[in-house]
Amino acid sequence: MAALSSLHHISTTLSLLGLTKPSLLAPPFRRPFRGLPPITSSSLEFNITFAPPSPKPKPPPNLKSDGVLDSDSPQNGQFFIPWIVRGEDGNLKLQAHPPDHFLKALAEAKTQKPKKKVDKAAKKKKDISAVGNAGIEPPAPPPKLSKAARRFYNEHFREPPQRLSKVLAAAGVASRRGSEELIFNGKVTVNGTVCNAPQTRVDPGKDIIYVNGNRLPKKLPPKVYLALNKPKGYICSSGEKEFRSILDLFEDYLKAWDKINPGSPKPRLFTVGRLDVATTGLIIVTNDGDFAQKLSHPSSNLTKEYIATIDGEVRKRHLIAISEGTEIEGVLCVPDSVELLPTQPDLSRPRIRIVVHEGRNHEVRELVKNAGLEIHSLKRVRIGGFRLPADLGLGKHIELKQSDLRTMGWKS
């Protein structure tokens, strides 16, 4: 279009000059225009040039061959964070990658110091030898806590000092009565002094207690609450050798204690109340003395339900005689309820449901015997609001939940 416009302009100029012959416009123009010769048809020639083409857009900035950034403009929508380095000529320049000396220093730098291997056994042996050969462990390092944090912990979480006999019983040394005998016999020392008073208040976490020369662990075992379906032929105490103790049923449980509770001493288990050797059913096993005393004390008024299977026929007069109660150890014991259960096809003997709250020794058996009946078998199925699970086999136990303990009136 530009060429046609130029030709049209030349044609118009020649027309005004009266030079309109076609030969004058025919290309090519072999000789450039020099000066102003006479205007003749044989010697007139023009030097026609065209304007240069419009500049093309510059390509996007890129890196040079030496890695120097041409511009800080974005490339392909990405912004480069340049490195400002000084070149060999002493001038500053922008560079897209870190300088070589920086990468080399970063690769050779050691980010972590090598940890020294500490032999714990050798360290402990060294500490013990430092305090002497008396077998006394070195004092523990002070906790890295602020005073406010330690005060808050002591006020809200740390248990207050307890009776020495109770601490020994909770640690599994002996029963409460057996612990008192050890204290009276001078077998217990507290902070290096022989203690003969079971009511002495001690803190196992702070006080150093020895029993028969053995150090009592600072950490007491956690509270354990178990429900056992007692089989026939087991007694609730561990002193008599002619009968098997129900504590023998927990041997596997205590053997697996260290795996389940690492770092915690084994609990000393005992029963809450008792069942005679011929009675089966629900009995609670724990290491919490306060819990056991609460449940077994008459002031708790905790009801207990038994199922008595009778040899022979049960009549109405028998039920009336049981409900009227009987005298046991000089105290009249009256059951809360007595009910003859419906007969079942797989059970030929009649069954009586008896609920009591006194909990005296052989109370249910004496009530049935005083009514003129003979018991074939006796089973306890409920204590308070907790009922023996129907799928719990003889000799098996389950751990009680907090909700189960609340049904028996215990609030930990």
Q: Which residues are catalytic?
A: 276
Cβ atoms of 63 and 96 within 8 Å: the answer is yes
Give the integer Cα–Cα distance in Å for 252 and 249.
Answer: 8
Rg (alpha carbons) of the chain, rounded to whole number: 52
Which H helix or E strand runs over 370? Answer: helix 363-370
Burial class for 81, CB neighbours closer than 10 Å (0-12, 13-18, 19+): exposed
Chain centre to alpha carbon of residue 247: 31
The crossing angle, in degrees rounded to 10, of helices 316-324 and 363-370 is 130
Query: How many C-beta atoms lie closer than 10 Å to residue 283's C-beta?
Result: 23
Query: In 287-403, at which residue ranges do the beta strands (DSSP E only) sit?
Result: 304-311, 326-328, 331-333, 337-340, 351-356, 374-383, 386-387, 397-399
Residue 183: CA count within 13 A, CB half-sphere:
23
Cβ atoms of 229 and 396 within 8 Å: the answer is yes
Give the integer Cα–Cα distance in Å for 10 and 19.
Answer: 11
Q: Helix %, strand %, coil % for the chain, to 5?
A: 30, 20, 50
385-388 contacts, C-beta under 8 A, 24 or more apart: 386/227, 386/282, 387/282, 387/305, 388/227, 388/229, 388/281, 388/282
Give the integer Cα–Cα distance in Å for 229 and 380.
Answer: 9
Give the integer Cα–Cα distance in Å for 325 and 84.
Answer: 103
Tokens of 248: 């023998």
Report which DSSP code applies to 300.
G
Give the integer Cα–Cα distance in Å for 238 and 78.
Answer: 82
- Residue that the structure tokens 């005060």 belong to: 151
Give the integer Cα–Cα distance in Å for 305 and 337.
Answer: 9
